[in-house]
C-alpha cells in the first residue's frame, strides 16, 4: 500500500497517535487537529521587464493558546497549503515542547527565488507583508526566516510593516539583521540546538562522540552550519548534499573547503577531493549519525530499512514518514524528532523577541548558554516521557507538547 506523503495528513496522524496515548477528550482532539485560522492571498509583483506577475501566498496561525503564533516564511516553487498547515502544526508542538510562551504559525509563497532579481525579491517580500500586516504583531503572530528566506528579506518585511503601521516594532519579526534588532547567535541556532540534542542522545545511547561519522542531507543555513559546528561535538562529517547532488570522503569533509566551494559554484558537487554520490546513497551510508536537514518525506517505507545510522537527528521538518518511523524504531535507531531537534531556531527567536522588548541585547555566549539549557531540558523531558510511557521518542515529544497546549486550551475555556 502506497504511503500518504501529504505532510498535513502526516502531522494529523502523529497527533492522533499521541491523543490516543493521552486519552485526550474527543472534542479537544478534534480542535487540535485543525488550524485556528488561515490566510490565502495573491501578491502582484511588478517585474523588471515591466510585466506584473501574480504570486500565491499563505499564512497559517495554527494555535495560539500558549501565546502569539510563531513561525517562518518559506519561498519555494513547490509550496502548498498543506505543507504550510503541517509546518504550523509542528511549530505549535515545537514551542510547547521547548516550553516557551508562544503558539505556532507558518507562511509561504509559491515562487522560485532563484529566478528573481534582488528588486523583484524585495517587491515580493514587501507585497507579502502588505497582505498579512493587519494579522501579525508581537501580541498576535511573529514571522521569521525559513526555506529560501533570510535576514535581508526579514529586514524588508520589517520596514514594510513599520511603514504601514507608523511606529517601530522590531519584535514583530525575528531572524533580523543585527543592526535592526536581531540576536547574536540566531543564524547558527537551529544547527547548534540540533547538535546539543545529538550530544544528549549519544549519552542515552552510551555513545562517545569522538571522531563519530556523520552524514548531513541539505546544505542550506541549517545543514551548512551543522557542518561548520560538527567538529566541536566530536563529529566527522563524511558526506553532505544539496538539491543538485551529494559528495563523500571517508576521511571527512573540511567545512571551510566545502563552504568556499559552495560560495563559488552554488553547489556541493565537484568539490575537490570528494566522490560524487546520490542523495539516496547518502541516506544509506554506514555512518553513526544521520542528519536530514533538507525537506519533508526523505526517509520513507521504501528506504528506511537500509538506514544504518544509530541516531537520526531531524534538523529538517517532517523528513521521516510514519511508516519509516516504525521501521527505524524497530531497528533500534534513536530518532530525535524534528520539532525537538530543530527547536534551537525558535528558542533563539524567542530570545530575540525578549531582547527587542527590553531593548537590551545579550552577547553570543549568553545566547548559546541559554539555548543549551533550554533545549537540553526539553530533550530530557521527552526522553523521560519515552521511558515512562514506553513509547518512541516522537510520540513522547507529542505527549509533552500536546498536553501543554491542551492544558492552555482548557484553562481558556475554548474546549
Hey, which residues are catalytic here? 106
Give which of 350, 74, 321 is closest to 221, Cα–Cα: 74
Q: What share of the chain is helix, strand, coil (3-state, %, to 5)?
A: 50, 20, 30
Cβ burial 186-208 (10 Å sphere, 16+ → b, else e):
bbbbbbbbbbbbbbbbbeeeebe
Sort strands 37-46 and 52-63 into parallel, antiparallel or unpaired. Answer: antiparallel
User: What SS3 class is residue 238?
Assistant: strand
Give which of 256, 263, 190, 259 is closest to 222, Cα–Cα: 190
Query: CB of 403 within 8 A of CB of 21?
Result: no
State the DSSP H helix or E strand holding residue 57, giving kind and residue range, or none if neither.
strand 52-63
Sort strands 141-145 and 104-110 into parallel, antiparallel or unpaired. Answer: unpaired
First to last CA, the chain: 36
Supply 4's cell numbers: 500518504
> What is the chain's length?
415
Amino acid at each position: 500500500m502506497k504511503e500518504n506523503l501529504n505532510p498535513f495528513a502526516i502531522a494529523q496522524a502523529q497527533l492522533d497517535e499521541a491523543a490516543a496515548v493521552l486519552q485526550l477528550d474527543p472534542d479537544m482532539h478534534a480542535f487540535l487537529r485543525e488550524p485556528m485560522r488561515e490566510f490565502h492571498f495573491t501578491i502582484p509583483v511588478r517585474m523588471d521587464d515591466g510585466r506584473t506577475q501574480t504570486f500565491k501566498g499563505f499564512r497559517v496561525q495554527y494555535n495560539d493558546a500558549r501565546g502569539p503564533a510563531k513561525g517562518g516564511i518559506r519561498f519555494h516553487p513547490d509550496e502548498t497549503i498543506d505543507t504550510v498547515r503541517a509546518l504550523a502544526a509542528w511549530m505549535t508542538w515545537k514551542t510547547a515542547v521547548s516550553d516557551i510562551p508562544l503558539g505556532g504559525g507558518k507562511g509561504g509563497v509559491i515562487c522560485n527565488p532563484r529566478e528573481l532579481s534582488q528588486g523583484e525579491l524585495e517587491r515580493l517580500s514587501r507585497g507579502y507583508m502588505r497582505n498579512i500586516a493587519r494579522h501579525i504583531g508581537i501580541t498576535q503572530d511573529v514571522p521569521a526566516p525559513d526555506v529560501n528566506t533570510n535576514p535581508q528579506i526579514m529586514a524588508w518585511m520589517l520596514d514594510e510593516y513599520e511603514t504601514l503601521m507608523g511606529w517601530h516594532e522590531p519584535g514583530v519579526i525575528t531572524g533580523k539583521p543585527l543592526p535592526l534588532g536581531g540576536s547574536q547567535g540566531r543564524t547558527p541556532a537551529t544547527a547548534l540546538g540540533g547538535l546539543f540534542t545529538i550530544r544528549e542522545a549519544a549519552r542515552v545511547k552510551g555513545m562517545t562522540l569522538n571522531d563519530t561519522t556523520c552524514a548531513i542531507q541539505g546544505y542550506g543555513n541549517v545543514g551548512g552550519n551543522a557542518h561548520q559546528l560538527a567538529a566541536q561535538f566530536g563529529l566527522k562529517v563524511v558526506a553532505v548534499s544539496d538539491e543538485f547532488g551529494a559528495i563523500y570522503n571517508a576521511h571527512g569533509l573540511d567545512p571551510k573547503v566545502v563552504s568556499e566551494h559552495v560560495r563559488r559554484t552554488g553547489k556541493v558537487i565537484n568539490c575537490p577531493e570528494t566522490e560524487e554520490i546520490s542523495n539516496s546513497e547518502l541516506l544509506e551510508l554506514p555512518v553513526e549519525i544521520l542528519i536530514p536537514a533538507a525537506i519533508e518525506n526523505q526517509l520513507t517505507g521504501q528506504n528506511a530499512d537500509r538506514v544504518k545510522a544509530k541516531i537520526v537527528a531531524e534538523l529538517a521538518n517532517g523528513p521521516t514518514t510514519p511508516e519509516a518511523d516504525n521501521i527505524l524504531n524497530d531497528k533500534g535507531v534513536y530518532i530525535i524528532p524534528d520539532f525537538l531537534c530543530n527547536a534551537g531556531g525558535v528558542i533563539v527567536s524567542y530570545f530575540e523577541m525578549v531582547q527587542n522588548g527590553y531593548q537590551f541585547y545579550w552577547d553570543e555566549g549568553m545566547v548559546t548558554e541559554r539555548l543549551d539549557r533550554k533545549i537540553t531540558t526539553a530533550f530530557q523531558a521527552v526522553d523521560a516521557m519515552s521511558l515512562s510511557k514506553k513509547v518512541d521518542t516522537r510520540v513522547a515529544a507529542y505527549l509533552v507538547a500536546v498536553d501543554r497546549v491542551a492544558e492552555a486550551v482548557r484553562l481558556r475555556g475554548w474546549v
